A and B are shown apart, each in its own frame.
Chain A
Amino acid sequence: MLAWPRQRLDPAPQSAQSAVTGPVGPTSPRSEPARAAEPVVDGATENSAPKPLPSLKPHRASASQRAADLERLTSETDLNGFADELRARADAGDADAAWMLADLLEGCATMAEIATMGAALTQQFDSMRVMGYSDQEIALLQTSLHRWTGRCSTFPARSREAWRAQISSSRTRAAVLGHPGAMLMQPLPRGPADSPAVVQATQRARDAGVTLLQQGDALDLLGYAPQLARLSGYGTDSYLMAACSLLDGCLRDPRAYALTMDQDQFLIGLSNSFLELSELSPRRRLIVEAQSAEILRLWRARQYEQLLGGSGG
């Protein structure tokens, strides 16, 4: 419905990340991060995907560093320069830097894509009007779009394929370095649900999800909603509502909250997801509210294994 993809909500196209079609990374994210020599399974093959050099130590950035990075993402005027910094840190083994670099690149790739849409973009906004968005709300989105397009303009022009390759490379690196979000977003191998490869990959994703949720960040319920939903059986929109419930002022008017939040975080596309909450049918809303309440109960009780244990389905 929106003109732009929602970042982090969908895995990169299969063709662009063949290296991550099979599990890459540790059996449990709570153990040591993945090493380059770790074997890949179920069709995943060696390729040019980045591997940590033997000399570097895969690590997570500190919470304060992550917060500072997020702040820079929303305020930095030279995003290309910031990307270079993140790349250097990723090269030194910082999983969070690799992950944020991927988000940044994907956001700017989206902006580059939008810049070429022309009349199609106008049509998208018209569509939103038909769906009941006011001119004021559309204007808010357009302002965000304009602002972020400008911030991304420091990147040299490149093809869609070049953007995609860089994004894929950075996401793969983040997974190899043990970023739980990256590991959670790895596509499951194809095959029957009870095949050993799928079972193992699902368990790895579940472990990564638990590690991610242990960070206690409400935005993770938002940013990884589809992946968490896939593991647990609760709906994606239920995770969105759970996240919205944890953010002051969101539940009262998710659409207004999303549009305001977009001013700051448009690039990583998280808040766009809240728009969906204003589009629920009456029947679906009943289900989502009930599931959201259970997600929140388990999340607050730190019962993450139970949350991702499939009880929602």
Chain B
Amino acid sequence: MKSRVWLLLLLAAVLLLLAVGSDDLANSLARLSTPSVAPAASDSSAAGSDGRTAHTSGNDADPAALASSPTAEAIEPFAPTVAAAAMPLLKFNAAQARVAMRQRWREQDCQMARLYSTPTFVQRREQEWRWLPPDLVEQERRAVAAALTRLTADCPGEITDKAQLIRRSQESQAVLAAARTAGDLYARMEPARRGRDTAELAAEARATMYDVVLSGDMEAIARLGRLDFLLQNDAGTQSIDMFVDGSSLWPMVACDLGMDCGPASRALDQACQQIGNGCGYPSLEALVRDRSPPWQYRLTDQRRREIVARIRSGRIAGMFEPAPPPQPPSDGRP
């Protein structure tokens, strides 16, 4: 239960971050959204009728090339607000959508790294350190600094101007909408939620989760927690997944499937930045074990092993259907 609260806070933070962005990306998007550019070559067929194969292309596209070779076209204003009316709709082909979504994720990661290095969060971390053994604190201090350096190494500059922030937020939404329209798998991982029936949303989330697992894309698999959360919300009944650490489950699954989660890895760096987590661990698993109540780690680890076993053996069908009710552990206490 605690992890759900934590996940909600994380989601709120991510949503907040979507309202801000970078100069470079804003410039790129400004070029993308220039009304005078030529229409995009339509390759929406690549996404298939259900959009489930969109992830197969575009992974290697060069963001700089994309930004400098305009291929988007202006269509209609995408939102009925005055501010949004000035923003033309984007149109992406599959490759462009993927590049834009990678930029979006990168931007989110940069903003998250910035957030955790703001005085409020730094102060909270310092407060924790006050109560930990000095040698551990020293190790964590070094690890946090190193992780932050790595995470922000290629981040664009921060936007502080309010008007620019608003515009950036609109651009970000426009990019997401265009990527969704293009059927991009990453974009489908951020389904539009406003005004939608939860059952419909859950069905869509479930389909996307299958496609993500089938894609074998470790970064996407590591981010499945958001969609998993949508499924839990829709389930209505209690399942074992309500008790696992949802923010850690899918990153750990991705680790098991081959994503680098060792020292200096992106996964470990990102986790170490989060308040309440320690830093300087040999693996993401060690970090999660140290920050979780023992009973919760046991459940999370159990679920993770089940998922990995199913993926490895190809028994994916039914994997994201409603889970059975929770069963008490056979050995009583954790």
Mark A residues whose CB is within 8 Å of B. 1, 123, 126-127, 129-135, 233, 279-284, 286-287, 290-291, 313
Contacts and interface: CB of A to CB of B under 8 A. Distances in A.
A160 to B, nearest CB: 23
A131 B332 CA distance: 9
A108 to B, nearest CB: 26
B125 to A, nearest CB: 12
B292 interface: yes
Contacts of A282: 289-291, 294
Nearest to A292: B131
A129 B277 CA distance: 27
Interface string B268-280: 0000000011100
A281 B243 CA distance: 15
Given A123-B238, A130-B240, A233-B127, A1 B1 contact: yes
A281 B292 contact: yes
A279 B295 contact: yes
B128 A127 contact: no
Contacts of A133: 333
Contacts of A290: 131-132
A130 B299 contact: yes
B325 interface: yes
B143 to A, nearest CB: 14
A279 B293 contact: yes
B101 to A, nearest CB: 34
Contacts of B296: 131
Contacts of A279: 293, 295
Interface string B98-131: 0000000000000000000000000000011001
A132 B132 contact: no
26 contacts: A126-B325, A126-B326, A126-B328, A127-B243, A127-B326, A130-B240, A130-B328, A131-B334, A132-B294, A132-B298, A132-B329, A132-B332, A233-B127, A279-B293, A280-B293, A281-B291, A282-B289, A282-B291, A283-B276, A283-B290, A286-B133, A287-B128, A287-B132, A290-B131, A291-B131, A313-B127
Interface in B206-251: 238, 240, 243
A123 B1 CA distance: 14
Contacts of B326: 126-127, 129-130
B332 A134 contact: yes
A126 B238 contact: yes
Nearest to A131: B295
Nearest to A282: B290
B1 to A, nearest CB: 6
A283 B278 contact: yes
B211 to A, nearest CB: 30
A290 B294 CA distance: 20
Contact of B131 (A126, A129, A132, A286): A286
A132 B333 contact: yes
Given A279-B295, A286-B132, A127 B289 contact: no
